[in-house]
Amino acid sequence: MFRVFERLIDPFQPFPAETPPTKLMPYMWSQLRSLGGWLPLMAFTSLLVALGESLLFFYAGRIVDLMTGAGPDGFWSQHGGETLLVALALLLLRPAVIGINHLLLEQTLVGTLNVQSQWRAHKHLLGQSMSFFQNDFAGRLSNRVMQLGPATEDSAYIFLEAIWFSAVYIIGATLVVTQINPWLALLLVSWLVLYIFYMQFLVRRITKAAEKWSDGRSAVTGRVVDAYANIEAVKLFAGTKAEETYALSAFKRLQLRVHRFLRLATEMQVVLNLLNGYLMVSIGGLAVLFWSKGLLSVGEVTAAIALTMRLNGMSGWILWVTIRLFEHFGVIREGLRSIAVAHSVVDAPEAPALVKGPGEIRFEDVSHHYGKRRGGLDHVDLTIRPGEKVGLVGPSGAGKSTLISLLLRFRDVEQGRILIDGQDIGAVTQESLRHDIGVVSQDNSLLHRSIRANLLYARPDATEEMMIAAARQAEAHDFIQGLEDREGRRGYNAQVGERGVRLSGGQRQRIAIARMILKDAPIVILDEATSALDSEVEAAIQRSLQTAMEGKTVIAIAHRLSTLAEMDRIVVMERGRIVEDGSHADLLRQEGLYARLWTRQSGGFLADTAE
């Protein structure tokens, strides 16, 4: 039975690829729409359960009156059939309705919304540009995604299981009390008005406090994860105390926000008990007074007092779940700051895939200043012929990284266009573009998975033989064979740790080179691809790279200019422009910027100082 209700809704069903709403209620509705017709059924079964609870107290009073009126001798003969019918309803009908209600709420609603909201948020964030992730903490983003699921699911659950249930129950209780005596109903309504007024007053403050509390948790998580992710730098620079101080300030702010929230909780308990005291004394006292004057029966007094005692217990629960609901609203609002952000780099509607060709690259009057007046690229024109090997050099800030970033469409150009084999890269899908470009960068972080998973990430359909051949070509196979992780997994099955921390920098770089070789893309970008290798290994890999790059279009960035001397061309950049273009020998003869940079090299490295 559980599986039937668990499978009513697929949390991973396709959904519109649109930016999540920034407002709370539109966002909630965007998640609830997947429940379709089951949502009204959930509301209807909750209504039946609440009405049933109200009628229980009404019937408790009635049975007291029936027993009093008929006496022990006549009760069963006069009311036995009715009592048996009610007993069957309590034994069979009520559990069935409550069971279906909870199956729908827990197996269907909770089992869907939690995972669904997290999955959709994660899927949307995966489509964000590189700059989006560079401008935020990975820990804070992941925290917001993971908090969003429980907050969304529990908000819907609380509304249907508590708020809606309570509203129906109170309406039913009011009708029961009205039937007993209108004056009792008037007192109940007056209590309800005071209760709702205080709830609104409290909830406004609770919502703000909860949102700040959630924001404080995210800030703490971001700082803590940042320290763990960069633990090597923390240790190398003896930064333990600095990290403690950095995190401590966030923890102290979090504590202040927790205290503000808990002050409101304590205030709520005091005020709530005052209100409930008024409820019990006024209705209970008036009911007893009316009984003493013969205006109410014992059963009616019993029903009125029982309803009052039930409301006394429920009022605290209602207020707490309402606070929890608005606390969740605060968490959702805080999460939507990151989740409900439109993608800055998007595919054009119905964009086709890039058609694989020989690999010609053209930059046509490309400018990109990151939304500012200066920096980046300024009117760059560059054509790289199919199969040509081009070195890209220049001082730091010359625009080399921007050129590569735009080619990979990590950002969109602000002016001009970039074409691959005559196709504007802004008009094709990002996935197909990057599928045809192999990249090895200086900072090659690996996925926290096995060596095999990291290599096959580039080409999932590759055979074992192809994978091993690529590793051999990158001079990686031998050291991979000797790897063993803490769980005893060996060789290609060994886990590399977060960001590949269990491997040395040189080993990570060789894995990255093997991954690029296995990908076998027509265009290759090498950004300091051998910087972490010793001279002997670098020489061997350079020979392997020459073979692997045969027939491919290559753009190579290196501070060690000697690694670029064998390139077909070297393009020299300065302040976002191309200032020189030619072979190594031609550029030396020109005695321009390249020649000066070559002269300044110490130990074969390019000085970072810009002209």
Provide φ and ψ at 440, rounded to 5°: -125, 120
Q: In the β-sheet with 569-574, what is the strand arrangement from edge to edge?
A: 437-440, 523-527, 553-557, 389-393, 569-574, 577-582
DSSP 8-class letter at 485: -
Better pLDDT: 460 or 532: 460
Contact 164, 249 (CB under 8 A): no
Contacts 24+ apart (CB under 8 A), 288-292: 290/181, 290/183, 290/184
**b/e sequence 302-329, b meaning 16+ C-beta within 10 Å:** bbbbbbbbbbbebbeebbbbbbbbbbbb
CA–CA–CA angle 327, 135, 560 (5° rounding) = 155
Average of per-residue pLDDT across 528-539: 66
Share of residues in the chain with pLDDT > 90 (%)? 22
Q: Is the pLDDT of residue 605 over 60?
A: no
Contact 151, 187 (CB under 8 A): no
Tell me the two tokens of residue 114. 């939690």
Q: Is the pLDDT of residue 540 over 70?
A: no
Q: Can you state the percent helix, strand and coil of the chain, rounding each to 5?
A: 65, 10, 25
Q: Is the pLDDT of residue 103 over 80?
A: yes
Residue 602: the pLDDT is 45
Average of per-residue pLDDT across 65-93: 82
The band of 604, judged by pLDDT with boundaries at 50, 70 and 90, is very low
pTM recorded for the entire structure: 0.74
Residue 607: the pLDDT is 47
Average of per-residue pLDDT across 46-55: 83
Residue 561: the pLDDT is 80
CA pair distance 556, 478, nearest whole angstrom = 27
The rounded mean pLDDT for the chain is 85
Average of per-residue pLDDT across 242-248: 88
Average of per-residue pLDDT across 414-429: 94
- pLDDT, tens digit, 9 for 90 and up, residues 445-503: 788 889 999 999 889 999 999 999 999 988 889 999 988 888 888 999 999 887 777 88
Residue 534: the pLDDT is 65
The band of 609, judged by pLDDT with boundaries at 50, 70 and 90, is very low
Average of per-residue pLDDT across 224-246: 83
Query: From the CB of residue 245, how many other CB atoms can be counted at a distance below 10 Å?
Result: 10
Average of per-residue pLDDT across 384-404: 90
Provide φ and ψ at 605, rounded to 5°: -110, 150
The band of 535, judged by pLDDT with boundaries at 50, 70 and 90, is low
Average of per-residue pLDDT across 541-554: 79
The band of 611, judged by pLDDT with boundaries at 50, 70 and 90, is very low
Query: From the CB of residue 120, how many other CB atoms can be counted at a distance below 10 Å?
Result: 22
Nearest residue to 406 (alpha-carbon basis) of 397, 417, 394 = 417
Better pLDDT: 222 or 31: 31
- pLDDT, tens digit, 9 for 90 and up, residues 137-165: 777 788 888 989 899 999 898 888 888 88
Query: From the CB of residue 113, how many other CB atoms can be counted at a distance below 10 Å?
Result: 26
The band of 608, judged by pLDDT with boundaries at 50, 70 and 90, is very low
Q: Is the pLDDT of residue 427 over 90?
A: yes
- pLDDT, tens digit, 9 for 90 and up, residues 569-582: 999 999 999 999 99
Average of per-residue pLDDT across 516-529: 88
The amino acid sitting at 536 is: E
- C-alpha separations of 582 from 465, 523, 594 in Å: 40, 20, 10
H helix count then E strand count, the chain: 21, 10
CA pair distance 251, 85, nearest whole angstrom = 60
Share of residues in the chain with pLDDT > 70 (%)? 96
Which positions ≥6 away from 154 have C-beta within 8 Å?
110, 324, 328
The amino acid sitting at 96 is: A
Contact 27, 130 (CB under 8 A): no
Element (H, E) at 378: strand 377-384
Average of per-residue pLDDT across 204-231: 80
CA pair distance 446, 496, nearest whole angstrom = 7
Place of tokens 């036995």: 80
Place of tokens 């960035």: 557
Q: Is the pLDDT of residue 26 over 50?
A: yes
Residue 195: the pLDDT is 85
Nearest residue to 99 (alpha-carbon basis) of 181, 226, 4 = 4
Contact 500, 446 (CB under 8 A): yes
Q: Dihedral of CA 512/514/515/519: which sign?
A: positive
Q: Is the pLDDT of residue 339 over 60?
A: yes
Q: What is the CA radius of gyration of the chain?
A: 35
Q: Is the pLDDT of residue 84 over 70?
A: yes
Q: Is the pLDDT of residue 276 over 90?
A: no
Average of per-residue pLDDT across 499-520: 85
| Domains present along the chain, CATH in parentheses | 32-339 (1.20.1560.10), 361-436+521-600 (3.40.50.300)
